[in-house]
Amino acid sequence: MKILIIVPDFLPLDQIKAAVSALTPDIDIRTDANFDRSDAEILIVTTFTPVNEDLIKRMPKLRFVQVASIGYNNVDLDLMRRNGIAVSNIPTASADSVAEHAISMVLSILKDQRFLDSEIRAGRWPKITRSSDLMGKTFGIVGMGSIGRALAARLLPFKVAIIYNDVRRMSEAEEEEYGCTYVDLDRLLSASDIVSVHVPLNDSTRHLFDRRKFDLMKDGSIFINTSRGEVVVEKDLVEAIQKKGIRAGLDVFEREPPDPESPLLRLENTLLSPHIAGVTVESQMRFFRETIANVMRYMQGYDPNFRVI
């Protein structure tokens, strides 16, 4: 089987090609989708490459798309269904990395690190701090998939009260393991000192967090989003930050990169990162190890793991 790999040029292309060569010598690795035709039956992409009609009409033999990422909203799933093309993602490789990033944002905000760092750099030595402890807080997790669970596991030593909401409630044994209590979303928002979002982007989650949802949150609470920017109505979040003193840690945005004139960039009680929570040296290697294993499974005639369709 022929494999086409399209990955960003910041990834180690030689290492990727060498690893995939163990599967088949018939490999084409590219950093863009600017080609006239490919006879590849397998396509490996990251979320940076749109898998749409324009692409697949140039790949008439395509049968399987492996997205080397948790997210797969770059893939036109309806189009894949109509053309009988299987799609898989890799849902676990960056879970630990994203969970750590979310906690780092929470701690940075609670400990007022952005302010304290700027004060020292300005030649001042503040005697008073707005810092507060994570211990004793109510921590709400929206989305209890692999990332939500990785986050909950890391929160246990902090002695927080963990509440969660998900489309599927965990078993009693799982709730006990992760120290979590299930509540509906409105209750979670109103009860939490910190809300961390870990949901996929789909029709039911797009713009899930709007003005009504932010109105439910406590004044001065913390909102963390490391999932997808489009799950939030950004202008409503800006309003909540300005009017309710909500503090936000955002790794994702409705538009990426955000507009240089976006009010989010001018608000002091925000901590921002460039959609990089899951991008660590270790997670990238995990992604490609699991990607290669799943493609090998498909080539051996088995149904691939983590099927999206």
Cα(307)–Cα(95) distance, rounded to whole angstroms?
18
Sheet holding 161-165, edge to edge: 180-182, 161-165, 138-142, 194-197, 222-225, 247-250, 270-272
Distances, alpha carbon 170 to alpha carbons 142, 144, 148, 174, 297, in Å: 13, 8, 12, 6, 29
Q: What is the pLDDT of residue 23?
A: 78
**How is residue 62 written in tokens?**
């395509």
pLDDT over 90 (residue 12): no
The pLDDT of residue 173 is above 90: yes
pLDDT given for residue 22 in this prediction: 77
**pLDDT at site 288:** 83
So what's the pLDDT on residue 123?
98
Residue 33, pLDDT score: 96
Average pLDDT taken over every residue of the chain? 96
Q: What is the pLDDT of residues 270-293, one digit of tens each?
A: 999 999 999 898 898 888 889 999
Catalytic residues: 228, 256, 275
Q: Write out pLDDT tens, residues 194-238.
A: 999 999 999 999 999 999 999 999 999 999 999 999 999 999 999
Q: What is the pLDDT of residues 250-264, one digit of tens each?
A: 999 999 999 999 999
CA neighbor of 262 nearest in space, from 234, 281, 292, 283: 234
Question: Once rounded to an integer, what is the mean pLDDT over residues 124-153?
Answer: 97
Supply the pLDDT for residue 269: 94
Please state, in angstroms and rounded to a whole number, the distance separating the CA atoms of residues 44 and 82. 20
Q: What is the pLDDT of residues 83-123, one digit of tens each?
A: 999 999 999 899 999 999 999 999 999 999 999 999 999 99
- Domains with residue ranges and CATH for the chain: 3-93+281-299 (3.40.50.720), 95-272 (3.40.50.720)
Supply the pLDDT for residue 129.
87
pLDDT category at 155 given cuts 50, 70, 90 is very high
Read off the pLDDT band of 70 (50, 70, 90): confident
